[in-house]
């Protein structure tokens, strides 16, 4: 490999790696904040936040890698122009078209990794996410209760708030429960609560000394009862059978379905998902090549405008891929056309911009050339 190609591949890889690391940290920060908010609201367990963040990041890696390669190549080309390094290469007999070969040395392996992620790793990560959420939904209600926070159960028909027990860490402290029933609105308070398992395996939530207040909405009817102990059997949610049903339902999500199931499915939504999984690896190569002419800037003028245009073009590319995905799902665009149309448009744009950068303009004759100075 020539010195020129080694320098280009090395610098573009370095820039892409820095961009990838930065985007990954930003993405993880956003995902962790969102998941911690869901955990605080009781929609997921606090013990699965890290796992969900990892699997969500794996699912997002294809897009992050495609954008990182694009920005890495773009910054490499623009830096070479800005620091007049391109003048040296051009003086050595090299042209902008000879950037294609070293850039492909970076883009093709990256596209292969992205293809592996979109076809296999991302669907697996989506299935793991669905499995984590299904397991949490199948937990008994008492295992989802955390002290010091309100928790909605049974689609909001039950709201529970508990305090930690000052004496026994295995028990709950004071308990407040709001129950919404077809004819009654009930409030239950208790000094403590704990769980017990009967000999037949049934689990009970046993409330300590407390009171229950029942009100019939719309009528002047109310009742108050007190109790020394009150047991509530925790209903089973189906165990392994329900978990198997939840995993089966997860396979109906096209994002989580293995590629072999998608290929055997002739529905528009399956074809749209196949199109998206193939589009991101192709976009990785196209964006890398498109960055070569887009990064060719005039070092004498500001580069902010050119980089802004490049970013908008890349954003348009990714949005058109998502739009094509939706059009195929809704049978607006045929699969045979949608799978390659967007890539063909942007590949043509790359060729057009490359021709514009490479063409040699005819020098303008100075007006004074036609004047002959007579002495």
pLDDT tens by residue, the chain, 375 residues: 578 889 899 999 999 999 999 999 999 999 999 999 888 776 777 778 899 999 999 999 999 999 999 999 999 999 998 888 888 888 888 888 899 999 999 999 999 999 999 999 999 999 888 888 777 765 655 555 666 777 776 667 778 787 877 776 666 788 888 888 888 898 889 988 877 777 766 667 788 899 999 998 888 888 998 988 877 665 544 444 455 555 666 567 888 899 998 999 889 999 999 999 999 999 999 999 999 999 887 766 656 677 788 889 999 999 999 999 999 999 999 999 999 999 999 999 999 999 988 875 655 555 544 444 444
Q: What does DSSP say about strands 210-216 and 185-190: parallel, antiparallel, or unpaired?
A: antiparallel
CA distance between the termini of the chain: 60
Phi, psi dihedral angles at 372 (to 5 degrees): -110, 120
The encoded tokens of residue 272 equal: 């749209």
CA 88 vs CA 5, 8, 79, 99, 133: distances in Å: 14, 14, 13, 14, 57
What is the Cα–Cα distance from 168 to 186, expressed in whole angstroms? 28
Query: Which contacts of 35-42 are long-range, i.e. CB under 8 A and separated by 24 or more positions?
Result: 40/149, 42/144, 42/146, 42/149, 42/150, 42/151, 42/152
What residues does 206 pair with on adjacent strands?
A: 194, 231
CB atoms under 10 Å from CB of 336, counted, come to 9
What is the Cα–Cα distance from 278 to 159, expressed in whole angstroms? 46
Say what the pLDDT of residue 165 is: 75
Query: What pTM does this model have?
Result: 0.76
CB within 8 Å of 335: residues ≥ 6 apart = 268, 271, 272, 274, 275, 328
């Amino acid at each position: 490999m020539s010195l020129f190609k080694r320098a280009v591949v090395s610098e573009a890889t370095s820039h892409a790696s820095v961009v990838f690391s930065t985007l990954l940290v930003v993405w993880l920060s956003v995902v962790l904040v969102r998941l911690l908010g869901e955990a605080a609201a009781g929609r997921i367990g606090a013990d699965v936040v890290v796992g969900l963040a990892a699997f969500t990041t794996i699912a997002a890696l294809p897009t992050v890698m495609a954008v990182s390669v694009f920005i890495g190549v773009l910054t490499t080309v623009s830096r070479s122009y800005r620091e007049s390094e391109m003048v040296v290469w051009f003086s050595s007999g090299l042209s902008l078209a000879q950037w294609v070969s070293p850039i492909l040395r970076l883009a093709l392996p990256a596209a292969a990794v992205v293809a592996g992620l979109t076809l296999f790793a991302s669907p697996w990560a989506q299935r793991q996410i669905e499995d984590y959420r299904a397991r949490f939904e199948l937990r008994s209600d008492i295992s989802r209760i955390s002290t010091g926070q309100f928790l909605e159960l049974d689609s909001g028909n039950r709201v529970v708030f508990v305090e930690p027990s000052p004496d026994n860490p295995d028990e709950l402290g004071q308990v407040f429960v709001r129950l919404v029933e077809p004819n009654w609105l009930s409030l239950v308070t208790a000094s403590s609560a704990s769980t017990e398992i009967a000999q037949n395996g049934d689990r009970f939530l046993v409330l300590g000394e407390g009171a229950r207040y029942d009100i019939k909405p719309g009528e002047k009817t109310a009742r108050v009862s007190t109790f020394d102990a009150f047991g509530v059997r925790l209903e089973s949610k189906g165990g392994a059978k329900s978990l198997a049903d939840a995993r089966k339902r997860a396979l109906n999500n096209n994002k989580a379905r293995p590629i072999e199931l998608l290929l055997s499915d002739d529905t528009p939504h399956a074809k749209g998902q196949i199109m998206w999984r193939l589009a991101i690896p192709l976009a990785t190569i196209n964006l890398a090549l498109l960055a070569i002419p887009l990064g060719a800037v005039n070092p004498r003028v500001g580069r902010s405008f050119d980089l802004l245009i490049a970013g908008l073009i890349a954003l348009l590319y990714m949005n058109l891929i998502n739009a094509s995905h939706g059009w195929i799902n809704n049978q607006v665009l045929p699969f045979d056309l949608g799978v390659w149309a967007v890539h063909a448009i942007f590949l043509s744009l790359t060729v057009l911009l490359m021709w514009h950068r490479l063409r040699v303009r005819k020098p303008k004759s100075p007006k004074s050339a036609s004047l002959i100075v007579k002495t």
